[in-house]
Structure 1
Amino acid sequence: MNEMGLRVVTGIALILVALGAAVIGGYAFAILAAAAATAVFYEWTRLAKGWGLHWQVLGFVYALLSALALLWIRDRAEDGLALLLWVFLVTWATDIGAYFAGRAIGGPKLAPTISPNKTWAGLYGGVAAASLFGGAWVLANGMHLVLILLAPLFAVAAQGGDLFESWMKRRASVKDSGNLLPGHGGIFDRLDGLLPVAILTAIAVLAGAA
């Protein structure tokens, strides 16, 4: 199987696992969130080795807050499952839209010194995809309409999380955060966009904006 095929198969498997645990909820989703946060923190510590204790503390807090945000959204927020799936959908749509728009259109680089493959077209494509699919999900499930406005903003945050992890990898002089996922690298590589979206969604709910 070529690299693209391996990426697709692994990606589909990850989506199915995430969706299955989300629908089941309870311990199943808690275990998945805890395992993902632990893996992210472990890979973070490897990337930030020698950068100082404050980087290790930051990684621990970032991974912990992300996991707690996902768990709280699923179990505590009104219409928790629908909102959690919105978080997934916005993040995944951003990644997919950015990938295909970037490849199809190309053009000026978004942050060439951090991630040479990312383009402004990819950013716009990711925002457009997240707005379209996130908005459709909100309307289909009768959710708070402010989420339609938040979708493009959180798409930018997702790509910001991606760029931040790319910066960490460049500083650490590594290609991937790990090698656990065939064709994808590490867990942090796959969740870099989800982490900020989860935290921001939880904040929006707590603030009464969603």
Structure 2
Amino acid sequence: MSAELKRRIASALVLAVVVLTATWYGGLTFRIVAAVMAVLIYYEWSTITRAAERDFRANAFGWLSIVLIAIDLVADEGELSVPILGGAMITAILLVLLRKGSWWLPGGIFYAGLSGISLAAIRAEDQAGFVATLFIFAVVWATDILAYFVGRALQGPKLAPRISPGKTWSGAIGGTVSGVIASSALTLGVFSRLSIWTVAIAFLLSVASQIGDLFESFIKRRFGVKDSSHLIPGHGGVMDRVDGLVFACFAAFLLTLVYAATTGHLDISVAGFLFGF
């Protein structure tokens, strides 16, 4: 076993222990993880897109926005995080329009800010939130792992050769099937029942996860970088590891908001949306 592989395995085990332990405890512990993830994602985003070189003051505003969101997630359970994100997005868009700035600024604020907000909202403070978080982990991790192995085994047509030449349609389909099966098994094990609704949501989250992977690959290719950073030994950066998880969380959180707005069930949680209760 090479030294590089040993580093990758050790890093993966440490990350898994940290994330799953925080998920188990929930509350402040998990919100801290979500807040730190948002800050690190913005750090990597701003580094990749060379935000400070483009406009130092605009990048400083981006940092201020993400730090305020992170503080609110930790100190106030995210009560003001969505309004802060909304205000920051409006301000960032106005900065771009009035000063002919870069659209990567509002993009980074949205991507990093919503990453922390959506993850914290999914975990929430109850047992249902714990299961919902594990459900999304099951979708994303099974999709990611099996997409790799199925794609290597079956090969076939490329999924998006200009963005990520290694990905194939066979891997994408195999990953989605695996993600649905893994999350369905988790749901059956916890609730002893499984609805078509939950299976359909798992399918959508698996697709979203793979779109997130492609999106991060597009950004790295656009700016000519191999890894989002070198924060994680053997694994690159935080964005490299959570790209699929971020988009799956986006999808779960935003779909819940749309469902709540269209049905009038404004008090529904992400867990209630995922499992139909």
With the length of structure 2 as denominator, give the TM-score of the two structures.
0.71
Confirm or deny: 8 A CA contact 1:77 1:205 kept in the other structure: no
Secondary structure at 2:44 match in 1: helix
Corresponding residue for 2:128? 79
Corresponding residue for 1:156? 207
The change in CA–CA distance for 1:92 and 1:149 in structure 2 (over 3 A counts) is same
1:89 corresponds to which of 115, 132, 138 = 138
Corresponding residue for 1:112? 161
Structural mapping, 1:43-192, within 5 Å: 43-49=44-50, 52-75=101-124, 79-142=128-191, 145=195, 146-192=197-243
Corresponding residue for 2:40? 39
Q: State the distance in 2 between where 1:33 and 1:105 align.
A: 36
AA of the residue aligned to 2:30: F
Q: Which has the larger radius of gyration?
A: 2
- What is the CA distance between 1:200 and its match in structure 2? 1.4
- What is the CA distance between 1:173 and its match in structure 2? 0.5
Judge which range, 48-57 or 11-20, deviates more: 48-57
- Which blocks of at least 5 consecutive residues in structure 2 are unaligned? 55-100, 261-272
Secondary structure at 1:193 match in 2: helix
- What is the CA distance between 1:24 and its match in structure 2? 0.8
The change in CA–CA distance for 1:139 and 1:22 in structure 2 (over 3 A counts) is same
State the percentage of identical aligned residues.
42
Aligned length: 210
Q: State the distance in 2 between where 1:21 and 1:205 align.
A: 23
Corresponding residue for 1:26? 27
- Which blocks of at least 5 consecutive residues in structure 1 are unaligned? none
Confirm or deny: 8 A CA contact 1:93 1:130 kept in the other structure: yes
Q: State the distance in 1 between where 2:256 and 2:185 align.
A: 19
AA of the residue aligned to 1:92: W
Q: State the distance in 2 between where 1:53 and 1:165 align.
A: 18
Q: State the distance in 2 between where 1:204 and 1:141 align.
A: 23
- What is the CA distance between 1:76 and its match in structure 2? 5.3
1:205 corresponds to which of 248, 253, 256 = 256
Residues 86-112 of structure 1 deviation map (CA, whole Å, 9 limit, x = unaligned): 111111111101111112122221111
Q: State the distance in 1 between where 2:47 and 2:180 align.
A: 34
Judge which range, 116-125 or 48-57, deviates more: 48-57
Judge which range, 57-66 or 72-81, deviates more: 72-81
